[in-house]
Chain A
């Protein structure tokens, strides 16, 4: 377990993270994981996080080494979309039994890898460690190494057992596996001055495809999107990109920083949620590429596209302005999405009556404060009971949150919109904001609200 421990420590000591840099040596040693409270904790484990980060690589087999719970209870539950191969949607697990726990599961794991390669012949197999197999001492690195040598195919160990920590830590450990075993193992057929990487975009509901046409229009090539709709070879060749963008807060910040350190690929942190954020991100990509040697004229073309697309988006959003202006939104989400969505909503006159900042960094909070004017509407932790009270008292017209709190809103007979991983709608880029307004409008103005809120005749006073 020492390899894992040192990996976890290294991930926690992230020089690219400003929060981490602001800490004393002593604080830094403790790591950045908030201590979980037994009996009052929510959220996934490190294995879950690693799987979220890597499973969107669509052409590889994702094999979970552990008892049935880890894969059997969780497979096929996200909507990371693929433009081609579907193998990532197949659930593979060693489903270990009590005999494996007693005698060790390494042989079973090796045979499992063989079966997958013989039956499905993927470009690579990713093997995920879990709590029980970590505890009994199964050395997945060694098994993967032996299997790779035997079958002549990359077999990548992902050492992020659930009990190592939170989902966020798991994201980073997943990223480490790519850095250690995948990135730089293949060469692209050709490169251009316009090659970029994107880190932390999982193509949920196909969101990547809402922004890819913008890149295409500018002649920018996404060499690797890590990891939505990615192919194994994309990731393997990603070290030849000229610049990169990191999205989804800091989930894959370790990839971003190490790619810069090792291969000189500069990155910036940006977002595709919100109109001005999208424009800002396009500007930054263009700027970085030019800085890296792309022709200056890219900047001009980028500004022209931004002007066109912003105007087109606003024209399409305009019909909603009158209908949505003055509506009050309760926004429950973590990190980067909060501030970027807040500004987008405000741009058309929607009032954000409150937002959660549970997962936000200090910077995020400062920005929300800047956008919202004061701190009075920022909740660090909004317990469901309080959330229910706010909605029941009609202090908000709609709640935007993840699936977990969906029923708090629905039981309070208040419109609710899914903006988390399980969502079916895509909200990225200019297209995404138009879609977001359309969905909010559809939800708020659905005729059911009046019907379901009306008490039964015998209940009327």
Chain B
């Protein structure tokens, strides 16, 4: 049980947090033939774009309503209308995902109202889906934006449909990578089930080489597939950030949901596979029985090096829970936990305190730890402290293949256990003659020289 505290600083130093609108934009990037549009000044989009390009090393379709001082004061209807028409004419996307920003929220633009008006004025937009999510920059963090956008995508597009017993919805949080999503898909499919994943970054940002150049996303959850989610047997949500979306979908379509707060770790995956076998009314495939046993063995091999190790983690709540719980499972002690926003998971962490703060807070608390875990911005802090550094989360701009880092399922957990164990192995403490000094008062030789 942890106490959740908020740092009292007026100045965030080396931010851990990123903004909700770009979290929402990333969710839209998990839809097929989509163009996310940020309603704000062009910098709002440019910063998000550069960040994602550096992380994914991919083209990122992301547009802006290019608000300026005057249009902000007069209201953004004209800019939004022009932006939607320009995007429609140039790119013909299936979906335009619109996120507001601090700028337009402070002004108080009624985007829902604008969209109704724009629809009425422009019947040519036809069945181009317009999904709007309100994400003021000064509320919440990246994962909140992702969660809100996912909710709006489902409530805007889904309708109740006749049930298909073998169809399973998957709502992954933004802490899952492309590789994680692919793994989850493969596990579900191996039970003979048909997963529909939304948002699905594994289709759009997996680094494939398309045959032609498109101004929208290419791959991801299509509008048609998302519409059919209303007829699935069950929704599997991964990460607390997806609870809203799963609940909203249930409310609208009656599809029940099951939420997994993580899919990293032995027990979590046991539960996951058990659920799938119940839905499929089938046995656990041999492949996964074998992988389970490999994970058990990995834990046995690694625990020697993990037990009692002090770790400092800086991550958004769901990722903090995922990696923090695994490290606790292996016997590590969470010495410092810093996060970006509120979540019910925080007080369940096995540590004294979870701080909503920044990387300066993490750096101060991480001194003397055996490992620091956070996104790439933590590299300077880890270097200053001289402690090993494990990169996790977005952004990861100083590593290749950030999207292909796997940490879910038995196999992903196994690899992560090895990775962590190897870091500790690399940094084993070597003893020297002065490792075990006596306390000064018992040290007679020293006492004598003083006489």
Contact = CB atoms under 8 A, between A and B. Distances in A.
A298 B361 CA distance: 54
Interface stretch (A66-74, A150-158, A219-227, A438-446): A66-74
A43 B138 contact: no
A338 interface: no
A48 B18 CA distance: 16
A325 interface: no
Nearest to A387: B213
B141 A68 contact: yes
Contacts of B43: 44-48, 70, 162
Nearest to B57: A407
Contact of B44 (A119, A136, A162): A162
A3 interface: no
Interface stretch (B82-90, B219-227, B307-315): B82-90
Contact of B65 (A39, A114, A412): A39
B12 interface: yes
Interface in A375-415: 384-385, 388-389, 403-404, 406-408, 411-413
A83 interface: no
Interface string A20-46: 000000000000000011111111111
B66 A73 contact: no
Interface stretch (A85-93, A229-237, A357-365): A85-93
A6 B103 CA distance: 22
Interface stretch (A97-105, A185-193, A244-252): A97-105
B10 A131 contact: no
Nearest to B210: A411
Contact of A132 (B9, B13, B63, B106): B106
A77 B54 contact: yes
Contact of A411 (B22, B86, B209): B209
Which of B11, B103, B212 is the most central at the interface, judged by chain A CB atoms within 10 Å of its CB? B11
Which of A108, A131, A412 is the most central at the interface, judged by chain B CB atoms within 10 Å of its CB? A131
Interface string B350-383: 0000000010000000000000000001001000
A69 B102 contact: yes
Nearest to B81: A38
A328 B15 CA distance: 44
Interface residues of B, number: 66
A110 B11 CA distance: 10
A74 B47 contact: yes
A135 interface: yes
Interface in B103-137: 103, 106-107, 136-137
B37 interface: yes
A359 B54 CA distance: 24
A1 interface: yes
Interface string B129-156: 0000000111101000000000000000
Contact of A67 (B84, B87, B102, B210): B102
Contacts of B68: 36, 163-165
B19 interface: yes
Contact of B53 (A90, A97, A403): A403
B213 A384 contact: yes
A96 B11 CA distance: 9
B41 A163 contact: yes
Interface in A90-128: 90-98, 100-101, 108-116, 119
B212 to A, nearest CB: 8
